[in-house]
Amino acid sequence: MALDVSDMTPAEAQLAQLETEEDIQHVLARGAAGVSLRSVTKQYGQFTAVENLFLDIPPGSYCCLLGPSGCGKTTTLRMIAGHETITSGEIHIGDRRVNDLPPAKRNTAMMFQNYALFPHKTIWQNVEFGLRMRKVSADERKQRVGEILDLVGLSHTSDRKPDQLSGGQQQRIALARALVTRPQVLMLDEPLSALDENLRVRMRSELRNIQKQFGLTFIQVTHHVEEAFSLSDQIVVMDHGHIDQVATPSELFDKPASQFVAKFIGDNNIFVGKVVNAVAESDGLETIELEVEGFGRIFSRGHAVPVGQTAACSVRPDLLNIVSEATPPDAMLVNRLTARIVDVELTGYVTRVSMLAEATGQELLYKVRTVEWSRSGLSEGQVVTLGWSAADCVFLPY
C-alpha cells in the first residue's frame, strides 16, 4: 500500500527511505543502548550553545538533563537524536558512532512536548505509523499496536482522534507511539509540561514504570527539580552550555558540587568566605574552616582548596536546627548564627521559614516538619539561634 507522507516529520520521511535489510535491522534492533558524548560542542554562528560536553549515560537508565531555561538541555537532546548537527566532538549510541547517521538510523525515538500526534489519524493509525514506516508486516503491526495500547490502558480509544482524548491520554498515546518502534533510547522533551500538577505527578510514576518495564534508556529534558529527582537514575545538571554535575538524585541532594547546583536544586543556604584551615579526616575528606565576613568561622566538609582562597559552603534548609542560645557550640552543631524570622509559609507537611541573619542581613531558609514548627511556638519577628554540623555543611570550591 502506498504511504501517505504528507504529514510526516522529516525524521519519519527519512525512515520511509530505508531500503536495505541492514538499515531495517538496525532500526528494529531491541534492547537498551548507552549513550556517550565526547567533547561535544554546538555553535550557532558565533554563539556557543553547549561546549565540550563529556557524558556517559548507562544502558537501561533514566537520565534527566536538568537546568534553567537556555542552558542547552534541548540542544543536547536534539544532537543525540540527530535532529541537530554537532559542531565538534563525537556521539556514540551503543557501539555505534552516530555523528553522521540520520535520526531514523539511530535506533532512538523522540517524544515531543506537544506530543506531535497526527490530528486527522485515529489513535490506532497514530501508533501504527512508525511501524508502517519501518515496513513491518500487517500481522506484526496489529499485534504490536494492540499490545502497546493495552499496556498504556487505552485500547478502547483506538478509533478516536487525538482531540477526543484528555491531555494525560494524549501523553500516553505519544509514549505508545514512540515505544512501539522498540527504540534503544527514548528521548523525552519536557513530556509532562502540558499537564496540570496532579496529572503530572501521576504520569511521572507511569513514565518511570514503563521505563523499568521495558528496560530502555530514557533521556528526558526538564527544568523541574522535583521531576528530575523523582524519575532519574542519573541527573545531569547544566548551566550556560556546560555540565556542572552528573550524579544520582541522592548524591546531588547530599553533595552538590558547585554553588550553582546547590542553589538550583534546593534552596540551600550558601556562605562565601576565605579558607583559613583544613584538617584531614579518616574518611578521606577534610574539615575546612571558612572565615565568613560578619559570621566568623564556618566549618564544612569536603576537599579543600589552599588556605587564603575564596570558597563557599552550603547547608540544606532541613539540616539547620533551632538551638538554645545558652547551649555552647559542640562538635555536633559547631556552626552557629542568630537570625530573625521574617516569613512563615505552611506548605503541607513541611513549613518553610525565611529568616535574615542578624549579622549581615543574608537571607536564610529553614525547613521543618510542620508538626515541629507548631510545637515550637515561634513566629515572625522573633530572633533565634541556628546551629548545624560541619558534616551537614558541604564545602564548595568557588
Ligand X SMILES: Nc1ncnc2c1ncn2[C@@H]1O[C@H](COP(=O)(O)OP(=O)(O)OP(=O)(O)O)[C@@H](O)[C@H]1O
Q: Which residue ranges make up the site for ligand X (CB under 6 A)?
A: 44, 47, 49, 67, 69-75, 223
- Burial pattern 217-230, b for ≥16 Cβ within 10 A else e, equals bbbbbbbbbebbbe
Q: How far is the CB of 228 from ligand X (least distance, A)?
A: 13
Q: How far is the CB of 117 from ligand X (least distance, A)?
A: 21
Contact 335, 318 (CB under 8 A): no
Q: How far is the CB of 80 from ligand X (least distance, A)?
A: 12
**CA-only gyration radius of the chain, Å:** 25
Using CA atoms, how far apart are residues 233 and 228, in angstroms rounded to an integer?
9
How many helical (H) and strand (E) elements, i.e. helices and strands, does the chain have? 11, 20
Q: How far is the CB of 221 from ligand X (least distance, A)?
A: 6
Cell numbers describing residue 229: 529527582
Q: In the chain, helix, strand, coil percent, each to 5?
A: 30, 35, 35
**Closest Cα partner for 176 from 132, 120, 103, 124?**
124
Per DSSP bridges, beta strands 185-189 and 217-222 are: parallel
Q: How far is the CB of 53 from ligand X (least distance, A)?
A: 12
The answer to whether the Cα torsion of 229, 232, 234, 237 is positive or negative is negative
Q: Can you name the residues that pair with 110 across neighbouring β-strands?
A: 187
Q: How far is the CB of 236 from ligand X (least distance, A)?
A: 11
Nearer to ligand X, 75 or 300 (CB): 75
Nearer to ligand X, 121 or 224 (CB): 224
Nearer to ligand X, 69 or 250 (CB): 69
Helix (H) or strand (E) holding 346: strand 335-346
Nearer to ligand X, 84 or 251 (CB): 84
Nearer to ligand X, 73 or 200 (CB): 73
CA distances from 165 to 122, 158, 255 (A): 11, 10, 43
Q: How far is the CB of 37 from ligand X (least distance, A)?
A: 14
Nearer to ligand X, 237 or 364 (CB): 237
Nearer to ligand X, 140 or 226 (CB): 226
Q: Can you name the residues that pair with 277 across neighbouring β-strands?
A: 289
